[in-house]
Amino acid sequence: RGAQENEPITETTDPSEGRFRSAEWYGGTDRNAYLHRAWMRRGLPNHAFDGRPHIAIANTASDLTPCNSHLDEVAEAVKQGVYEAGGIPLDLPVVSLGETLVRPTAMLWRNMAAMAMEEMFRANPIDGVVLLGGCDKTIPSLLMAAASVDLPAVVVPGGPMLNGHFRGVPLGCGTDVWKLSEEVRAGTLDEDLFLKSEQSMIRSKGHCNTMGTASTMAIMAEALGMTMPGIAGTPAPDSRLLVTAHETGVLAVDMVRADRRISEVITKQSFENAIVALAAIGGSTNAVVHLLAIAGRLGIDLTLDDFDRVGAGVPLLVNLQPSGRFLMEDLFRAGGVLAVLNQVSDLLDPAPITVTGAPLVDYVTNQPTWDEEVIFPRQEPLIEDAGIAVLRGNLAPLGAIIKPAAASPELMVHRGKAVVFDSIEDLHARIDDPDLDVDASSVLVLRGCGPKGYPGMPEVANMPLPKKLLEAGVRDMVRICDGRMSGTAYGTVVLHVAPEAAAGGLLAYVENGDTILLDVPGRRLELEVDAAELERRTVAPTTADGFASPSRGWERLYVDHVQQADTGVDLDFLLGGSGSKVSRESH
Ligand code: FES
Ligand code: MG
């Protein structure tokens, strides 16, 4: 039934409706309300403007973000749920960041995506938002944006791809690229075969199927209470993803009616639950900067030390690549995230609620584990103490991190001579040089890869090992970098060194042959060079190419305002939130 000329068009039909934000645009009989309604009448019926909840579906689908390219289908399922609950669903395409293609690193654009999304959530007549993400930076940027606007918000993770197989064994995306390419360099795998594995690796829609950053951040969203419980890790092609997406659409409308905002769902205790989950799943180190950044938007005092404190003693239970053997499809089959959380439920804070309004812990009790090779029992974990370790010392006064679950036990306390690279280009140019002065006990140092230095803090810290050492059978070495590491990578890699070299950190002054001490149990990272010698080195830090100094555009803004890794790499002026109020009209 379309609007008839003689019909009143702005009446609120349901007395319980009409108190929502969108009514500020559509309610009333003045010129502006006319304008807002008139332009939206391309299929929207009269009753769309009676004050019912309008739900944006913030969609990061893009052909250039292959991990998220199926999200239009997911959005369709969300839409049906929103309609069913009496709301109005609205497509809102937002900035999409694909990890594999975007240069120089998707991380350079995480804050830009979050800033653009935040402004669009606030500027538009919406009462709540469903956040569709997948590939690494998409869920973090969506959550950062939603936190700064503080509307009712709920995440639908797009889900991992199905297991690939090669040579009869599962092939994990990311992790096995690093492994197979090192095999080619070591001369143990033909390049032909290597190239053949390409198609088996990416077998279906969805994001990386290892416990990389995308899988980790989907689970972090669930542990923070921001998803329908049980959805994280549902494979992208699994029909149950669409079912839960539909239910999420219904829930989003309920959340608006209950005025359940993100600030009510996510508290300091939710972050502590997420940190427990992060250790138990052996999640990506990138979660550290993303969780810190989300906390910064909410004004929650989360620190690097909270990761060490809360993660201490949490066992690694999930046997997934890169720390273990299986892939995300196996985790889902074995009982999924809720089964994992059930195993560590005594470590969870019972207070934090989820988007449903019920506490997270309510959903984890009685969640069985179906395969104890994938989800290890609490009594016999893969590793007893899987929390991320925070290191400090003169090389990282603000902190650096290491993921013991991905590192070699025999390198946890190590003293070695530095082999220094000033940039990723310098590393690539020299790492395979047969004359490079390096042995298995050396400590590889890569600098100029922090937030300001690159700029954007790329995932380069898991430096390839020197070819001559690979050929000699060496498979791990201590590596130190002010950049990040892919969540799918592994090795004894010290990451996120703060302050970075480009911000004047001591990392900039390390010279070849200096002794470096890594002591993970003692939480120390020291450059063992005497003070007098260090005094002599007070020259301005430079690298082969000099640190980045962009002259204009986003990169200029980014370099001028980005914060260090220990606080989440957000821009200083984006901390906190501005709420959802917009006081002025556009016409
Ligand atoms: Fe998108 Fe790994 S490349 S999740
Ligand atoms: Mg990544």
Predicted TM-score (pTM) of this structure: 0.95
pLDDT greater than 90 at residue 538: no
pLDDT greater than 50 at residue 2: no
pLDDT greater than 60 at residue 576: yes
Q: What is the pLDDT of residues 424-470, one digit of tens each?
A: 999 999 999 999 999 999 999 999 999 999 999 999 999 999 999 99
Q: What is the pLDDT of residues 168-183, one digit of tens each?
A: 888 998 888 888 888 8
The pLDDT assigned to 1 comes to 40
Atom of ligand 1 nearest to the CA of 67: 1
Q: What is the pLDDT of residues 254-308, one digit of tens each?
A: 999 999 999 999 999 999 999 999 999 999 999 999 999 999 999 999 999 999 9
> From CA 430, how far away is CA 424, in angstroms rounded?
10
| Spatial CA neighbour of 217 closest among 346, 131, 311 | 131
The pLDDT assigned to 483 comes to 97
Residue 380 CA to ligand 1 center (angstroms) comes to: 31
pLDDT greater than 60 at residue 17: no
Q: What is the pLDDT of residues 402-430, one digit of tens each?
A: 998 889 999 999 999 999 999 999 999 99
Is pLDDT larger for residue 150 or for residue 184? 150
Ligand nearest to the CA of 486: 2
Give the number of residues written for the chain. 587
- Name the residue with the closest Cα to ligand 1, atom 1: 135
Confidence band, pLDDT 50/70/90 cuts, at residue 543: very low
**Angle separating helix axes 304-311 and 268-281, nearest 10 degrees:** 60
Q: Which residue has the tokens 């890699």?
A: 493
The pLDDT assigned to 5 comes to 56
Atom of ligand 1 nearest to the CA of 99: 3
The pLDDT assigned to 169 comes to 85
Which distant-in-sequence residues (6+ apart) come within 8 Å of 543 by Cβ?
422, 423, 426, 447, 448, 453, 501
Structural contact between residues 418 and 516, judged by C-beta atoms closer than 8 angstroms: yes
Q: Give the sign of the dihedral formed by CA 267, CA 271, CA 277, CA 280.
A: negative
Residue 130's Cα: distance from chain center in Å? 17
Structural contact between residues 578 and 149, judged by C-beta atoms closer than 8 angstroms: yes
Residues with CB under 6 A from ligand 1: 67, 99-100, 135-136, 174, 207-208, 212, 214
Residue 484 sits at the vertex; the CA angle it makes with 480 and 485, to the nearest 5 degrees, is 85
pLDDT greater than 70 at residue 545: no
> From CA 283, how far away is CA 264, in angstroms rounded?
25
The CB-side HSE value for 44 (13 A sphere, CA atoms) comes to: 19
> From CA 43, how far away is CA 45, in angstroms rounded?
6
Ligand nearest to the CA of 287: 2
The pLDDT assigned to 257 comes to 96
Q: Which one-letter DSSP state was computed for residue 350?
A: S
The pLDDT assigned to 577 comes to 97
Q: What is the pLDDT of residues 103-161, one digit of tens each?
A: 999 999 999 999 999 999 999 999 999 999 999 999 999 999 999 999 999 999 999 99
> From CA 324, how far away is CA 405, in angstroms rounded?
9
Segment holding 255, helix H or strand E: helix 239-258
Residue 1 CA to ligand 1 center (angstroms) comes to: 45
Ligand nearest to the CA of 207: 1
Which distant-in-sequence residues (6+ apart) come within 8 Å of 91 by Cβ?
56, 57, 59, 75
- Name the residue with the closest Cα to ligand 1, atom 2: 208
The pLDDT assigned to 94 comes to 98
Residue 321 CA to ligand 1 center (angstroms) comes to: 14
Structural contact between residues 518 and 476, judged by C-beta atoms closer than 8 angstroms: no
Average pLDDT, the chain: 93
Amino acid at 293: A
Choice from 64, 67, 210, 321 to test ligand 1 binding pocket (greatest atom count within 8 A of CB):
67
Q: What is the pLDDT of residues 335-391, one digit of tens each?
A: 999 999 999 999 999 999 999 999 999 999 999 999 999 999 999 999 999 999 999
The pLDDT assigned to 12 comes to 46
> From CA 427, how far away is CA 457, in angstroms rounded?
16
Average pLDDT over residues 29-33: 93
The pLDDT assigned to 539 comes to 58
Choice from 64, 68, 110, 135 to test ligand 1 binding pocket (greatest atom count within 8 A of CB):
135
Residue 532 CA to ligand 1 center (angstroms) comes to: 47
The pLDDT assigned to 489 comes to 84
Confidence band, pLDDT 50/70/90 cuts, at residue 199: confident
The pLDDT assigned to 554 comes to 97
Ligand nearest to the CA of 201: 1
* Alpha-carbon separation of residue 6 from 2, 9, 10, 46 (angstroms): 12, 9, 12, 13
The pLDDT assigned to 29 comes to 92
Q: Give the sign of the dihedral formed by CA 467, CA 468, CA 473, CA 477.
A: negative
